[in-house]
């Protein structure tokens, strides 16, 4: 049985222009950043060259709690060491997707997701002067 967990945050001081997902090892999920409650985390099986395949369906999805934490457990990966995708969405933020190999022997696999607002004005970053 597969098991992933992690946290979704905003980190304006990073100055990133794109959302990102980081896989990490260790039992403690990194702290800091602004937790994002209500983000949707989806595990996807049908991939096409490392991206979600058209018409592909999610294996499992869950919303983040008030501290931005999520946990998906007990879903079946299609086969050992399957190539899956992790997609995270939240209204007002740029979506992010990352393919990863589901190592069912590593329990759990952990991810830190940093979402960037859809509009640069929302994160304190000023647009470049023309």
**pLDDT tens sequence across 29-54:** 777 889 999 999 998 887 777 777 77
**DSSP tag of 50:** T
Q: Is 14 helix (H, G, I), strand (E, B) or coil?
A: helix
CB-CB contact of 114 with 19 (8 Å): yes
Which residue blocks in the chain are alpha helix, DSSP H? none
Has residue 88 been placed in a domain? yes
Give the helix/strand (H/E) hosting 125.
none
Region class of 123: left (phi > 0), else alpha (psi between -120 and 50), else beta: alpha
The pLDDT, as a whole number, for residue 29 is 74
Has residue 128 been placed in a domain? no
Has residue 130 been placed in a domain? no
CA dist 59 and 34 (Å) reads 28
Domain that holds residue 94: 2-118
For 43, counting Cβ atoms within 10 Å of its Cβ (0-12 exposed, 13-18 middle, 19+ buried), the class is: buried
Has residue 9 been placed in a domain? yes
Has residue 127 been placed in a domain? no
The pLDDT, as a whole number, for residue 50 is 72
Give the CATH number of the domain where residue 56 resides. Answer: 2.60.40.10
For the chain, the domain total comes to: 1
Which pLDDT band, with edges at 50, 70 and 90, does 125 fall under?
very low
Has residue 102 been placed in a domain? yes
Q: What's the rounded mean pLDDT across residues 101-124?
A: 77
**DSSP tag of 78:** S
Has residue 42 been placed in a domain? yes
Question: Over the range 46-75, which residues count as b (16 or more CB within 10 Å of their CB) and which as e?
Answer: ebeeeebeeeeebbbebebeeebbbebeeb
Has residue 32 been placed in a domain? yes
């Amino acid at each position: 049985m597969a098991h992933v967990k992690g946290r979704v945050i905003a980190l304006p001081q990073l100055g990133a222009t794109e959302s990102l997902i980081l896989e990490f090892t260790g039992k403690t999920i990194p702290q800091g950043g602004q937790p994002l409650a209500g983000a949707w985390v989806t595990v996807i099986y049908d991939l096409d060259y490392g991206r979600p395949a058209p018409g592909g369906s999610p294996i499992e999805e869950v919303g983040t709690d008030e501290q931005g934490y999520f946990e998906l457990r007990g879903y079946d990966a299609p086969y050992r060491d399957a190539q899956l995708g992790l997609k995270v969405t939240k209204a007002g933020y740029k979506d992010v997707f990352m393919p990863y190999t589901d190592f069912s022997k590593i329990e759990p696999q952990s991810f830190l997701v940093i979402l960037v607002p859809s509009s640069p004005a929302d994160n304190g970053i000023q647009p470049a002067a023309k």
